[in-house]
Chains A and B, each alone.
Chain A
Amino acid sequence: MPPIRDKFTIHSKAVVCQDVELKGDITIGAGTIVHPKATIFAIAGPIVIGSGCIIEEGAIIVNRRKEVMRIGDDNLFEIGCRVESPTVGNCNTICTRARVHHTLRISSYCVVGAGVLVVPTEDEMLDEYTVIYGPAAERRVWSGRGKVQEMDLRRKHAEYLREMLPKFNRLRRGDGA
């Protein structure tokens, strides 16, 4: 296995804390916030993260496939979640301690509930506005009502973090070697 060469391309407006474990070829877009103690491992292939995402503590984003793992804009990865999905769209919410397998592709406006383990046996693409909840990972389709307010809230959340995090945490700047 070829050794993992670190290559980080972090936008100047992104806020990435010093304590984050990054490995491999990672691109982080504008306005994205990565909390301390998050983990982004691009082991086999590169990871591209869009703008406005919030990756909280303990979140683990792993790419074990050779293809590029693309994460869209305005996503929220809550504390302790683990995402291996090769495609994540925009405006999704992966709640606390949820685990998403690499066979699942997530489109936009989806919500994976807290603690949910989503392991489909074969490759699957979630429709837009799907909500997965409950211990048995039941699904239903959200009507989309309230999404404007939710995106509003997320932008406010990101703005607040962008202001507060640098005051209390050291930031990692630029490209790693």
Chain B
Amino acid sequence: MAPKIEYYCPCLSESPHPPPPNRPSSSYSFHPLHNLFFCEECDAVRCNRCVSVEVSGYYCPNCLFEVPSASVRAEKNRCARNCFLCPNCRNTLTVVPSDPPEDVDSRMSPIVSTTLGEPPFFLYCNHCRWDSAEVGITFEKPTGLAAQLQKFEDSAPESLEFERLKEHFEPFLRASSSSSALPSASSHHVHTNPITAAASSALARDIPGVGKYNPLSRSRVGREKGAHRQEYPDYKSRVEVGTALSGEADVEFLRHLETVSQVAALEQRWTNSWVSPLSASDLKPLRIPLQSKKSKRCPSCRHILIKPEQKAQSVRFKIKLVAANYLPAIAVTLPHAQAAIEMLKRTSKTTSAAAQAEEQQAAGALIAGHSYSFHLAFTNPLYDPIQIRLAKAIAPAQTAEGDEAAERARRSTFQIQLPSAAFPVGAFAEAWEYDDEDEAMFLDDDGMEVVEARGKKGKDGRGKTRSVGIVEKRANVTIVSGEVLIPKEARGDVKFNMLVSYTYRSDDPEPSEEAQTGTPSRSHGANKGPEMKNFSFYTVVDLGSIMYREEPKLTADL
């Protein structure tokens, strides 16, 4: 299990402290950096759980046609053009012509056919070779399939039933909605279609226990509604409800099953809105369901964080306030594991991929009773250098069991040592702007102390370089090392919360234009001189599980 690091999003909770990482429930508050957003107004991290999402547009995933929201309702969230879904494997169907009539010497027949192909056309799935002729759906023309299929869909028993219901209730809806509306608005109501009328009267329905809110004329409505209620005749359905839904036909079908594959699988059936037939050979092609593009907003200040482009085929965003543009990216590695893997790679000859993965896991294992150093690489996304300070997050007080138990608990958990001083990370610039990878660039960090950094390029740090401090500084990446001491009785995962706070110091005093580019916090007025802006966030660092010393190490046969 490779070591990883995740960021904490408070999700609008009052206390900024993250939950202790050992609890399984706390894993939901920690996210990898690429899942997080950042709100500039509130200066806060937002995650997918706390943002408010709204639909910004609908499109068909096959033809990439943007459907205006008015048509979405009318077409029941499906694509109205020639896009269909194979009922068997849920791939997209293509329209193909039928084979030309075979000649006697069909094998050596010349390669000729009209470009348009011959009718009848049918739908064909390239993946599983299902075609719609198996269920009897063919078309005369290759275009305008939706219109041709409309006849089939309209004659389905469910839609006929629905139409009859609508017709039955329409006069009552009209009457009740027109009487309850203001006279000026009643003209609008007359022109609405039955669906909208049904929806609006459903909203105005009586709910027992809740007082009826009626901004319009009250007394008149009450009387008229009561009068109307007695006038509803009973609705007679087209088909006898008892027999249609009794499932007799289904039982007969199941009794005569020969193989399980004759029954339609769950994945094949639940895309359909209506109840679909049980047998797999009866499944009809479905229109492709539309998908939506969503835009996300900050929950507190309603600022837009993510806004996609209008065109369906473009994957870019008009507004993209992601946390990776504001927070430093942190990567955690265990140098002893990497060195072990490299040694294994050099010595082992032909191990399979699975054996190699096992070896890598074993190489990175943390054995109780040892102490290991780990590297944290900080990448600065801002265009100015920052100073980072790390601290161990103090866990909130846990249940006190007793002095002895607490003492034992403290002894058996691992100890972490982090660099305590602030260290700089260089500014981000395009690749061609860097002179060289030496530290002569960062001469402006004079007021900073570095804890003794003995192991400079400590990638092969298996030796005695156990210092806690800066390991390497390159372009906009700084690698620092910390230490974890695992006592013999420790068990479980090595996970700890880390507080990262960084200070952005703008070098040239031009707050009007530079202060707003990617700064984590707002500038206060027009200051001259460098301003210190501060931001801090919690992270959880997971170094892996502790392995016991007694277990034999998993070594490959070298």
A residues apposed to B, CB below 8 Å = 111, 113, 131, 133-134, 138, 140, 142-143, 145-149, 152, 155-156
Contact = CB atoms under 8 A, between A and B. Distances in A.
A149 B99 contact: yes
B89 A133 contact: yes
Contacts of B133: 143, 145
Contacts of B130: 140
Interface in B237-295: 261
Contacts of A156: 111
B75 to A, nearest CB: 29
Nearest to A113: B127
A147 B131 contact: no
Contacts of B127: 113, 133
Nearest to A111: B129
A111 to B, nearest CB: 6
A147 B98 CA distance: 10
B373 interface: no
A142 B111 CA distance: 23
28 contacts: A113-B128, A131-B128, A131-B129, A133-B128, A134-B89, A134-B128, A138-B261, A140-B88, A140-B130, A143-B129, A143-B131, A143-B133, A145-B99, A145-B124, A145-B133, A146-B98, A146-B124, A147-B99, A148-B102, A148-B106, A149-B96, A149-B97, A149-B99, A149-B100, A149-B113, A152-B111, A155-B111, A156-B111
A148 B96 contact: no
A56 B128 CA distance: 22
Contacts of A149: 96-97, 99-100, 113
B134 interface: yes
B128 A146 contact: no
Interface string B90-114: 0000001111101000100001010
Contact of A146 (B99, B111, B134, B261): B99
Nearest to A142: B129
A152 B99 CA distance: 10
Interface of B: 88-89, 96-100, 102, 106, 111, 113, 122, 124, 127-131, 133-134, 261
A114 to B, nearest CB: 8
A148 B89 contact: no
Contacts of B88: 140
B98 A145 contact: yes
Q: Could you say which of A111, A143, A145, A149 has the most chain B C-beta atoms within 10 Å of its C-beta?
A: A145
Contacts of A142: 129
Complex A-B, nearest 4 residue pairs according to Cβ-Cβ distance, in ascending order: A148-B99, A142-B129, A131-B129, A133-B128
Contacts of B113: 149, 152
Nearest to A153: B111
A167 B441 CA distance: 55
A149 B115 CA distance: 12
Contacts of A145: 98-99, 122, 124, 131, 133
Contacts of B131: 143, 145-146
A147 B130 CA distance: 13
B100 to A, nearest CB: 6
Nearest to A148: B99
Contacts of B124: 145-146
A145 B130 CA distance: 9
B529 to A, nearest CB: 62
Contact of B96 (A134, A146, A152): A146
Nearest to A131: B129
Contacts of A143: 129, 131, 133-134
Contacts of A148: 99-100, 102, 106
A134 B268 CA distance: 14
Contacts of A155: 111
Contacts of A131: 128-129
Contacts of A134: 89, 128
Contacts of A133: 89, 127-129
Nearest to B103: A148
B455 to A, nearest CB: 45
Nearest to A114: B127
Given A134-B128, A145-B124, A148-B106, 17 more contacts: A131-B128, A131-B129, A133-B127, A140-B129, A140-B130, A142-B129, A143-B131, A143-B133, A143-B134, A145-B98, A145-B99, A145-B131, A146-B99, A148-B99, A148-B100, A152-B111, A156-B111
A146 B97 CA distance: 8
B40 to A, nearest CB: 44
Q: Could you say which of B96, B100, B129, B130 has the most chain A C-beta atoms within 10 Å of its C-beta?
A: B129
Contacts of B99: 145-149
B206 to A, nearest CB: 51
Contacts of B122: 145
B157 to A, nearest CB: 27
A143 B97 CA distance: 15
A155 B109 CA distance: 11
A157 B97 CA distance: 19
Nearest to B91: A133
A149 B106 CA distance: 11
Nearest to B128: A133
A145 B102 CA distance: 12
B353 to A, nearest CB: 16
Nearest to A159: B111
Contacts of A138: 128, 261
A61 to B, nearest CB: 23
